[in-house]
Each structure stands twice: as structure tokens, then as C-alpha cells.
Structure 1
Amino acid sequence: MEALARRSLKMCPFLRRTVPATLRSLSTSPSGHRASSSLQAIASRCPVMNKAMAVQSARVGRRLSGHRGNQARSHATLAPSYPGIDSGGPFDYKGFYQAALDAKHKDKSYRYFNNINRLAREFPRAHMDAPDDKRVTVWCSNDYLGMSKNPHVLQKMHETLDMYGAGAGGTRNISGHNQHAVELEATLARLHRKEAALVFSSCYVANDATLATLGSKLPDCVILSDSSNHASMIQGIRHSGARKMVFRHNDLDDLEAKLASLPLHTPKIIAFESVYSMCGSIGPIRQICDLADRYGAITFLDEVHAVGMYGPHGAGVAEHLDYDIHAMGHSESASGQKTVMDRVDIITGTLGKAYGCVGGYIAGSAKMVDTIRSLAPGFIFTTSLPPATMAGATVSVEYQMSHNADRILQQLHTRTTKAALQDIGIPVIPNPSHIIPVLVGNAEVAKKASDMLLKDWGIYVQAINYPTVAVGEERLRITPTPGHGQEFRQHLLTALEAVWTELGIRRAETWGGFLGVGQQHPGNEPLWTDAQLGLTTDAIDLDAFAPEKVAGVAAGC
């Protein structure tokens, strides 16, 4: 079928001029469950497709004639769940919404939002509904380094806001292109040692727009996607209309087998992440680059949860893998080999996590970036980020490029918290990153645990359930920051011990190694080594590393 589609694309002027999104809109009715007459009407005027449709219609008619009883029963089953389908009257939209929400409530995956208002001057504390409410401690923020309250960032944003106002005024090509965008993109390109960078409203949009554009424009492109990739990449691949091949998470053998099955001349994109945010695993970047070179692919690396957090300048895991080389300002090893970061073709990142602002970006070759800038609807038709946001993000990136103290202290707090949780039997999913996933294994219980922590202990840790994680793998996701010192950590440990006991949640030893809980596996050692953190002895009191002491360690990096 795919071969026929490719031949049709070459022969048919309509298909050659039509983007995949248009075809999807023509081929799907508003109710989403039957073919639209729009595409059929166009196809009926084609001398080839008209005959093919007639033959196919006859085949379908013969096949369905023996199954009408089953079909009727099937629609009878659908009707109660989705009122209004084939009822003879107008579609019951409210009934559809209610059925969809009822299903979410039934499987306990319905999402509740807590009103959490983080306080810049009391980080990592927050208030709930009103400023004078009792304070809660936030343990699940992606503001990993507390840069949202950094005084240098705030001062720059205040100055820019006063001078240039609240909004950008339009899209980049109309009135939203300015000195702040130019400076931010130059800074990001320098961070990743790439020729160019392009800023988007979010990294979700950056991933979606870039993969959709490349996948649809590269002829016969195939995108190979890690099975644990973020929804933004999955959506971008879907929007591209390109052929997709999913390889098992971090499985190099499976990836190579799929690459080897494709012709060398076929354009191929390997899409993967450096830090997978819900489990904390690290992608094998160097080995994937090796496979890309061998099989003629380009690499698309999402560093969203790694930028600011790894490497001597905070450029991410790809930089961290050659820590000493980049710390000395070099771009290759003594033997002349390129660094891992230089080998990656496309790097995407966010300004909304470790950098404490908002926005996303891509970085790569000048021609690749210009291609996305010129062709991606997600960039062309989106209003630019406000000047104050871009100016603040620039300062944040530059600050982390020249200061290691925040990420060192964050890593020390992560190590201490992981070890303390494991000591009291809390089931931590092991990984080498700064993420601390605590396994619960039940959506309803995870929600209860989150609610109890907030109500009874003043601790905010959001429950994570399907579809973010698989059913049966529900968890709490804890992310220490430089501000989560000993007092906060001890309070967390006491609270989790009490909640686990009251709800009867399984301890680490009862999981039998599920998701690695309770086990030590090679590859789960922290990505930051003791030497990189400035630790010189095996037995060390991490609480002794006050921020000012860490700053002294970082100065020698």
C-alpha cells in the first residue's frame, strides 16, 4: 500500500501540491468516523482513482454483506457511550463530552489541577488560593535551578518590560522580530556550538513544527522514534505524514535493525531524548550518532530536561559526555575527534524549565534552521515571544553558561534525597539523572497520596498517571532544586513515610525489581561524577555544601 501511495504521489499533480494536513482534513469528516465526500469528489474526477474506487467499493460491499448483523450490534454498543451517532437527529455534543469525561473518571486518570502560586522571594515555597494562605513546599517543579527568581533575570525583564511593553506585536515576519530575538538565538547557537538557532513559543511547538516540516519535505522520509519519546515529537511525526518506525526505548540493537532495513539513500531522522522526564533514563547519544553515520541518518535530540542541568556550560547531556573538553573551550578531543554535541544534527531545548522562563528552540546548521524558519507553519504563524521574556531568557542562559553552582547543588540534593528515600523503603525508580520517580502503581492511590501530602503536610508533589505513563506505572515525580536543603528534605521524608504507611502503598522490596526498583544496574550511576561535583571522599556530608561553598567548587571547574 505504501509503495502504491509513493507511486501515486509521483504521478498525481494534486498529491504533489497538497500537504498531508490538507489530505487529512479532506479525508476525515468532522465526526471523525467515516470518509468525507470532499476527497471522494476530487478522486472521482481522476481517471485512475475513479476506476480504483469503483473496484474497491464492490469489494467492500461483498465483504460487508455477510457482516451486517455484527455491524448493527457494534453500532448498538457505541450508541450509549457516544450519544448522537447515527441517531437520526443532530449529534449530541454534550453527551459526547460527558461520555469522554466519565471514562476518564472511571479509570481514575482524570486530571485535577491544584492552585499553586510559587513565590519568588520564598522559593521553593508557594501559596494556594490567596497570598495569605498557609505556605506549601513545591517538590515537583521543572524550574529545576530556581532561575525564575534569579535577580539578574528579573532585573533584565523589568527593564525590558518598561521600555518595550508587554507584547511582541505580531509574528516574527510581520512585527515581532527584534533585537531580543536576534540576541537570544545567537546565545543559544553559541551554547550548543551550532551555526544557528530558532526560537519558538514552546518546545512542544518546536518539536512538532520541525519534525512535521522535515518529515513532509524530505522525499520518502522515514522517522525512527524512541518508544518513550515526548508527545510533541509523536505529534510532529504524525503531522509530517512520513513513515514512522518506533524502536524500543534506548535499544540500540532494535534501532540498528530498523535502520539496516532501509535503503541507504532514503532520508532518515532518528528522534530521541537525552533525559526522559518521567523515568529519568538517559539516551545513548554517542552510540546513536554512530548508527546515524553508518546508515545515512540525521539525529534529532530533545534536550528539554537537560539544558541548564548538565555540562560545564549547561548545554545538556551531549555536552556533558565530553565534559573536560568543553570545560576547556575546545570542540574536539586531543586526537581530533568531534565531540558528541558537535555530531548531533538538530538539538531542541526549552527556556521554560531549568532556565526559568518560557519558550523553546532548535539549534543546528544555518541552512537547516533557515529551512524551518521559511517553511514551518508553527513558526511562521505564531506570535513572537514578548521582548521581556526573550531578554530574561538570554540573561538566564548566559548566567548558567558561566556559573556551575546551581546545577552542582541541585545534583547534590538529588543524590541525598534519592539515598534517603531508598533507606526508608520508598520505591524509587533508579536512573542516572536529576529526576526522582517514586513508584505507586495505581492511579487512584497516587492521587490520594498526592492529596494527603498537600493537605496534611503542605507538600506539593503531583501524581503522574496515564497517558503520561503506562497503566500500572503511576508515580509521584520529585525534582529537588538548589533550594531544597536539609530542613525541606527531612520534612519530605517524614511525610512520605507517614503517607506510605497510612495508605498501605507497597515498599521497594515488594516490587520484585519491577522498573528496576530496589535493584542496582550498571548505567544508573549518576551522570555527574564525584570529581565533576568536587567530591573528594567517599563519606561526605552533602549538607555541608552550602551555596557559597558550591560556588567556590564551581569556580575551579
Structure 2
Amino acid sequence: MWCGRLLSSPLARARPVAPGSRGRRAQSALAQLTGILEDQLDAIRGAGTWKGERIITSKQGPHISVEGSPGGILNFCANNYLGLSSHPEVIQAGLRALEQFGAGLSSVRFICGTQSIHKALEEKIARFHQREDAILYPSCFDANAGLFEALLSPEDAVLSDELNHASIIDGIRLCRASKYRYRHLDMGDLEAKLQEAQKHRLRLVATDGAFSMDGDIAPLREICQLAQKYQAVVFVDECHATGFLGPSGRGTDELLGVMDQVTIINSTLGKALGGAAGGYTTGPRELVALLRQRARPYLFSNSLPPAVVGCASKALDLLMESDAIAQSMAAKTRRFRSKMEAAGFTISGKEHPICPVMLGDARLASVMAEDMLKRGIFVIGFSYPVVPKGRARIRVQISAVHSEEDIDRCVKAFVEVGKRHGAIP
């Protein structure tokens, strides 16, 4: 009886597979996939938006070595705002943490991946931002991926600037709240969206503090005023502000005098604060407690490596001891912007060390960046999908450890290359 049922089953009635036919089908599927991928890659190359990777053979810093480029190269496109990526004290702190706590935890935080240095860094971050608590993530991308889904329900609403960072956009996509997108820096449109969102239980306004592609700064005073008027919570991503904006480098909320009105801050350890990796959320104690229970990137990602924690902790120490490094950047930023504008270039943003040289054409941005490298200047052309179509640019980033001579040399190269390619008269 049992054998009869087996023989009459769909599996038993299936025709035998000819030897090698599965391999042929697999090869055919692979050939199809390869063809699709090649078409897409050819389209990217044809549009002039191909993004190559240059190989650095030295430490990160204002002066670097690049594979295939003879001599020293001036680096003007790193997020190394304070020059701490290769600071001797930061490196030594990382080495001490590596020796004392090992290479890694081989685990997530709640299982067996929390060390004393993780807790100490979280406390230091909260103290730096003058908030109640903080939680570490492998990156700020993860912090943004973990926040919205854990915090917001279908009863809630999130209102997001249309030019927010991709990690904010992706984080918002993961949550089930109602989603409103307001025009970039447009407070009239934000107010209209807040009025529309009054039907929801909780309203969260989400914005970058400093927008990384254009170098402009969110009008946090006005945002906080609207949030108070319509009983909304304000969230700010400070990745391109922490460490150097504001009198003591706390960020855009300090710069604009609204530290007591911004409820939640996400930021990174991978830019001004040592440049290695890691991100965090800081804010109310209850929020951080909830994220430890529900934020998926926190629950399912390995703990930050001890060396990274050690480096970031020392970077924060240096920053809290003195604001001299952060303040030295402002004059250098003004020097670059004024000289470039005098030469005929259009520089987006205002007073931020992100200085986008607006070119419009993706191919022009790519070709000019390559010519800049030949003159010993490391910059990168940005084009779609990193920035909107028709808004291609070369993004220059000023560091506190660039000298005035470095900046003048960069400007001189831009003028030579810009004239050669017709970007300036």
C-alpha cells in the first residue's frame, strides 16, 4: 500500500532528467543573468556615471599615496574633517584597545558582545551631545535603518526633507508610518504637511543637519518652531556636522541654538570622530532602551570592534578638551570658497567644509576629476544616482589639517582644468 502511494505521487511520475540537462539550464540562466548585468553596466559607462575606485596605499590624511600616481597626492574629498583619522593619539588609543579587548566580539551586543568600553563610549557620546543616553551601531546607516521601524507605528507619521541622505530614506521605507516628503528646506511646505499630518498619533520631522551633497544646513530654528506649534518631534542626522559645527563642535543644533529642542540625534564615528566606522543614536533614555530591544541592526549585527571604539573615544576626548581644531577649519573653508568663486566657479552651500563645485554634466565632472588627479589633487566627480540628474559636481571637502598652501594649490589646479574643459572662461 505504502509503495503504491509512493509510485503514484507526482515526484514518482516525473520524467527522469537527462544527464547534463540541469547543468545546461543553469548555464543558460547564468548567461541570461550575465547579459542583463552587462547591459546595465554598459549603460552606466555610456552615461558617463561609472564610479571607479582609486586605491590609496597610505594612511588617510591631507597628503596620501595613490596607486598608479607618482608622488604625493593632496586629498580633498575625504570626510576627515578634523584630521583625526591618522592622529597619533587616536591610533595609539586604538592599539591599546586592540591589545586589551581583542580584535572583535564574535557576537551581537545582547548575547555576549558588550564590553566596558562600549558602555563608556555611549556615556561619553550622550554627555557630548547633552542627551540622556546613546546606543552604538556598526554605522550610522544602521542607526537610521533601526530608528524609524522601531519607533513609528501605522498610527504615526514621518515628515522627511526630499534631499535627506539615502540612509534616512531607506530607514523610513522600513517603517509602517504614514510618509510625507516636503520640499528641500521649504518651511511653508513642511507646515502644510504638518497640518495634514495632525490626524496621526505621533509626528516625527526628519532632516539632515548638514546636507552632504550640497553643503547646505537645515533651518533648525524654523523647523523646531513648527514642531512646537504642531506638537511634533524633531530628528536630525548630524553625520556631516558632529565635531566641527557650532562653537564647541556639537553640531547644527548647537550652531543654531536649538540643542534643547531637537529630541533625537543620529550621527557617525566614521567621519570627524576618528574616521573608522560606527554610528549612534542619542536622545531620551526611554527611546534608547526601546532601540536596544527592537532595533534590528543593533540586535542582529556584530558589536563594534574594540579598536574602533578606542579610536572614537580618544577623538571625542580631543574634541572636548579643545575646540581649536574645529575652529581652524572655518577660515580655510572661506579661503577655498572665495578663491573658487572669484575664478568663476559656482560653489553650492554656504560656510560648510563640503564645497560642491557645480558642473551639471556627469561626463565633465568625471573627466575633470581625472585631470585633477594628474595634477596631484584627489577629488571625485559625483553624478546620478548619488545626486539628481543634471546636478553633477565635484565635491571638495576641506579638512582642518589642510594648509593654506594646500588649498591654494587645489584652487590653481581647478582653474587650469576648468579652463581646459570650458567649465570657466
Measured after TM superposition, the shift of residue 427 of structure 1 is 2.1
Measured after TM superposition, the shift of residue 91 of structure 1 is 8.5
User: RMSD of aligned C-alpha atoms?
Assistant: 1.8
What's 1:125 paired with? 63
Q: TM-score, normalised by structure 2?
A: 0.90
| Corresponding position: 1:204 with 2:144 | no
Equivalent AA in structure 2 for residue 481 of structure 1: S
What's 1:177 paired with? 114
1:441 is aligned, of 357, 360, 383, to: 360
| Corresponding position: 1:409 with 2:328 | yes
| Corresponding position: 1:137 with 2:74 | yes
Distance of 1:138 and 1:454 partners within structure 2: 10
Distance of 1:490 and 1:297 partners within structure 2: 46
Q: Which has the higher contact order (CA 8 A, sep 6+)?
A: 2
For residues 502-545 of structure 1, give each alpha carbon's deviation from its aligned partner in whole angstroms, at most 9, with x where no partner exists: 111145xxxxxxxxxxxxxxxxxxxxxxxxxxxxxxxxxxxxxx
Distance of 2:312 and 2:349 partners within structure 1: 32
Q: 1:245–1:258: 8 Å Cα contact kept in structure 2?
A: yes
Equivalent AA in structure 2 for residue 476 of structure 1: I
**Secondary structure of the corresponding residue to residue 126 of structure 1:** strand
1:284 is aligned, of 201, 219, 222, to: 219
What's 1:99 paired with? 39
For residues 155-197 of structure 1, give each alpha carbon's deviation from its aligned partner in whole angstroms, at most 9, with x where no partner exists: 1111111122211221101221011110110001001111100
4+ residue stretches of structure 1 with deviation over 4 A? Answer: 88-91
| Corresponding position: 1:157 with 2:75 | no
1:348 is aligned, of 263, 266, 269, to: 266
Distance of 2:368 and 2:376 partners within structure 1: 12
Distance of 2:388 and 2:170 partners within structure 1: 18
Q: 1:194–1:342: 8 Å Cα contact kept in structure 2?
A: no
Distance of 2:420 and 2:414 partners within structure 1: 10
Distance 1:505 1:419, change over 3 A: same
Measured after TM superposition, the shift of residue 127 of structure 1 is 0.9
**How do 1:74-473 residues align onto structure 2 when only pairs under 5 Å count?**
92-119=32-59, 123-129=61-67, 133-215=70-152, 218-322=153-257, 340-356=258-274, 357-455=276-374, 457-473=375-391
Measured after TM superposition, the shift of residue 381 of structure 1 is 0.4
Distance of 2:322 and 2:62 partners within structure 1: 20
Distance of 2:322 and 2:193 partners within structure 1: 41
For residues 339-387 of structure 1, give each alpha carbon's deviation from its aligned partner in whole angstroms, at most 9, with x where no partner exists: x112111101111111123210000101111111100111100000111
Q: 2:109–2:303: 8 Å Cα contact kept in structure 1?
A: yes
Distance of 2:367 and 2:118 partners within structure 1: 44
**Secondary structure of the corresponding residue to residue 397 of structure 1:** helix
Distance 1:128 1:293, change over 3 A: same
For residues 124-176 of structure 1, give each alpha carbon's deviation from its aligned partner in whole angstroms, at most 9, with x where no partner exists: 1111228x952111011101111112222111111111122211221101221
For residues 61-98 of structure 1, give each alpha carbon's deviation from its aligned partner in whole angstroms, at most 9, with x where no partner exists: xxxxxxxxxxxxxxxxxxxxxxxxxxx97882212211
**Secondary structure of the corresponding residue to residue 260 of structure 2:** helix
1:500 is aligned, of 402, 418, 421, to: 418
Q: 2:361–2:391: 8 Å Cα contact kept in structure 1?
A: yes
Distance of 2:177 and 2:32 partners within structure 1: 35
Equivalent AA in structure 2 for residue 425 of structure 1: G
Distance 1:485 1:239, change over 3 A: same
For residues 190-233 of structure 1, give each alpha carbon's deviation from its aligned partner in whole angstroms, at most 9, with x where no partner exists: 01111100010000110111122223xx2422111101100001
**Secondary structure of the corresponding residue to residue 204 of structure 2:** strand
Distance of 1:146 and 1:297 partners within structure 2: 37
Measured after TM superposition, the shift of residue 313 of structure 1 is 2.9
**Secondary structure of the corresponding residue to residue 303 of structure 2:** coil
Distance of 1:224 and 1:241 partners within structure 2: 13
Distance of 2:168 and 2:57 partners within structure 1: 30
Distance of 2:130 and 2:411 partners within structure 1: 41
Measured after TM superposition, the shift of residue 264 of structure 1 is 4.9
Distance of 1:170 and 1:182 partners within structure 2: 16
Q: 2:154–2:176: 8 Å Cα contact kept in structure 1?
A: no
Distance of 2:80 and 2:172 partners within structure 1: 28
Q: 1:153–1:392: 8 Å Cα contact kept in structure 2?
A: yes
Distance of 2:329 and 2:89 partners within structure 1: 19
Q: 1:264–1:296: 8 Å Cα contact kept in structure 2?
A: no
Measured after TM superposition, the shift of residue 262 of structure 1 is 2.3
What's 1:533 paired with? none
Distance 1:426 1:117, change over 3 A: farther
**Secondary structure of the corresponding residue to residue 97 of structure 2:** helix
Unaligned runs of 5+ in 2: 1-27
Distance of 2:283 and 2:44 partners within structure 1: 40
Equivalent AA in structure 2 for residue 104 of structure 1: I
Distance of 1:161 and 1:430 partners within structure 2: 40
Distance of 1:242 and 1:95 partners within structure 2: 39
Measured after TM superposition, the shift of residue 239 of structure 1 is 1.1
Identity of counterpart residues, as a percentage? 34
Q: 1:142–1:354: 8 Å Cα contact kept in structure 2?
A: yes
Measured after TM superposition, the shift of residue 269 of structure 1 is 1.2
Q: TM-score, normalised by structure 1?
A: 0.69
Distance of 1:360 and 1:495 partners within structure 2: 35
Distance 1:164 1:262, change over 3 A: closer
Distance 1:462 1:267, change over 3 A: same
What's 2:402 paired with? 484
Distance of 1:118 and 1:91 partners within structure 2: 40
What's 1:46 paired with? none
Measured after TM superposition, the shift of residue 291 of structure 1 is 1.4
Unaligned runs of 5+ in 1: 1-87, 323-339, 508-557
Distance of 2:36 and 2:120 partners within structure 1: 48
**Secondary structure of the corresponding residue to residue 332 of structure 2:** helix
Equivalent AA in structure 2 for residue 282 of structure 1: I
**Secondary structure of the corresponding residue to residue 270 of structure 1:** strand
Q: 2:353–2:399: 8 Å Cα contact kept in structure 1?
A: no
